Amino acid sequence: MYNSKITGLGFYVPDNVVTNDDLSKMMDTNNEWIIERTGIEERRWIPEGSEDTTAVMGAKAARIAIERSGLTKDDIDFIVFATLSPDYYFPGSGVQVQDMLDMPTIGAIDIRNQCSGFVYALSTADQFIKTGMYKNILVIGSEFHSSGLDKTTRGRGVSVLFGDGAGACVLSQTEDKSKGILSTHLHSEGKYADKLIVSSPSSTKWFPELVATEGKDLSYYPHMDGTFVFKHAIVRFSQAIMEGLSANNLTVDDLDMFIPHQANLRISQFVQHKFKLSDDQIYSNIMKYGNTTAASIIIALTEAWEKGKIKDDDLIVLAAFGSGFTWGSAVIRW
């Protein structure tokens, strides 16, 4: 049996900064409300006319991760791409990256697990490496949210939260069992699917049906029961952390860095206080980027690593919760 470890990290966000004050010119919202409820100060939104898309941003982040891993694109055996906002209904964004990076005809899959997308993608890649099937896998999380948000007062409960961006890592085989991905745990509870959902267009409601409602059916915009999601998030985040640590006979005292999915600074602070984590034991960057869903953990991990906050032998826990509901954790010895 092999183990897998992260050997290269990269992220890319569009240059275009959208502040809370910018949003207040589009809808009835204000800086104070957004900061108090979410901690978000600004986010990046792809500007009109940009070449960036979910796949393009994913490829940009991937190039950096591959270069930092010391490998070349030709050393990558497989691509796992997590997103809820793919360029196309089909094919997935992973195959686009295979083409954009001019890679050999390796396999590529997309993971559709929203805010838990990166944890699911990492876990999927980890299994392929642990079985010995692949040696180096490109794992990407990328989202182009801003094109699909209701940027009017009607959509303010959701649209102020989300940002665009991408992160990527190279996961490589190692024979050192004490390093790398120690465990991943994944969960779902589909009975709450409608609490955070984009329900159309779908195979049961295609464009002609939507158009026939003459703008009355808005189910192509994200719908979220924010308070309900928040209450479940704080419980599931805590469970995900404990499950990962206990499976490895570790405790919160062993934790060097917790990187939560960046959904809401209040959720992260709740978890920080519950587990009595110091400010150095948790990384948050939602203030700058908003919620970038499948990209959020890998952007945060990359940024923390770039700032020197992640060192050799550190114990890192990643945890996510979101639409599905889905949630999960990854425990990593760096």
* Residues labelled catalytic: 115, 261, 291
Q: Tell me whether residue 25 or residue 307 sits nearer to ligand UT7 (CB atom).
A: 25
In a 10 Å sphere around its CB, with 0-12 CB exposed, 13-18 middle and 19+ buried, how is residue 54 labelled? buried
In this structure, what token pair is assigned to residue 237? 């985040």
Which residue is associated with the tokens 């770039």?
306
- Measured distance CA(61)–CA(68) in Å, rounded: 11
- Measured distance CA(293)–CA(298) in Å, rounded: 10
Q: Tell me whether residue 205 or residue 223 sits nearer to ligand UT7 (CB atom).
A: 223
Q: In this structure, are residues 40 and 160 in contact, taking their beta carbons and an 8 Å threshold? A: yes
Contact between 160 and ligand UT7 (CB under 6 A)?
A: yes
Contact between 148 and ligand UT7 (CB under 6 A)?
A: no
The nearest distance, CB 252 to ligand UT7, in angstroms, is: 22
Q: Which of residues 231-260 bind ligand UT7 (CB under 6 A)?
A: 233
Region near ligand UT7 per CB under 6 A, out of 2-10, 141-149, 152-160, 247-255? 152-160
- Measured distance CA(318)–CA(240) in Å, rounded: 9
Region near ligand UT7 per CB under 6 A, out of 5-13, 154-162, 197-205, 268-276? 154-162
Contact between 145 and ligand UT7 (CB under 6 A)?
A: no
Tell me the per-residue interface mask from 115 to 134 with ligand UT7, x by CB under 6 A, - otherwise. Answer: x-------------------
Contacts of 132 (CB under 8 A, 6+ apart): 1, 2, 173
DSSP symbol at 47: P
| Contacts to ligand UT7 by CB under 6 A | 29, 33-34, 37-38, 115, 156-157, 160, 226-227, 229-230, 233, 263-264, 267, 291, 322
